[in-house]
Structure 1
Amino acid sequence: MAISLLLAAALGSAPVEPDPIWRCTAAHYGHFVSPSGTQEKWPTVPKLPEHLRDTRQINLNSPGMLPGGRAHMMYIDTAAKVVYILQTSGPPESEVVFGPLPPVDCPKE
């Protein structure tokens, strides 16, 4: 049994499984980011929309051991049906927000 399931059982709750659109979108965009950034030519916006700032996010990667490494967090605006990827590396003024990007449907089985 996975350690996370054991911990969840000990705490009395099961881990939250992301909705399929979150899982498939994160899997898709996660392939394009790393601690060194991204080579993709995605559009950018000046800042993450405020209504998303304190909402659910999925970490796509961490900065790792790379000096000046970048972390990427994905936000989905379900009302607008768009995705934003927040790239951070140090102080807040060094944030880059990619988006709006399209969400990715899960493959049909």
Structure 2
Amino acid sequence: MLSVVADVGGTNIRLSVCDLETGELTKLREFACAEFITLDAALVQYFSTLQGEVKHLCIGIACPVENDHVVMTNLSWEFSKKSLKEKLKLESLYVINDYTAISLAVPQQFSLK
């Protein structure tokens, strides 16, 4: 069972498998968003490269994320969190604003030094 984190911007999407015990990131891949019509197409492409089933996903994305329907402001992608979770057969899906993701990472960065 795998956990994946994604950083979604207007130009690129970066994805990695995250070890929930250690926080270690592995299997980092970067794709140009322009290569995909939808976010789920990019996710399915990445998931197909992994050995194992992805059950947990956290997406940091550059747009408002308060509602179920997420619409990117600098890319034509939009999606329903509920539908994405069902389509990808996830046990958990977290969609957070990219600035929230950065602020959550700051304490981790300082603890590594």
Q: TM-score, normalised by structure 1?
A: 0.28
Q: Which one has a larger percent helix, Structure 1 or Structure 2? A: 2
Q: Which structure's residues are more often strand, by fraction?
A: 2
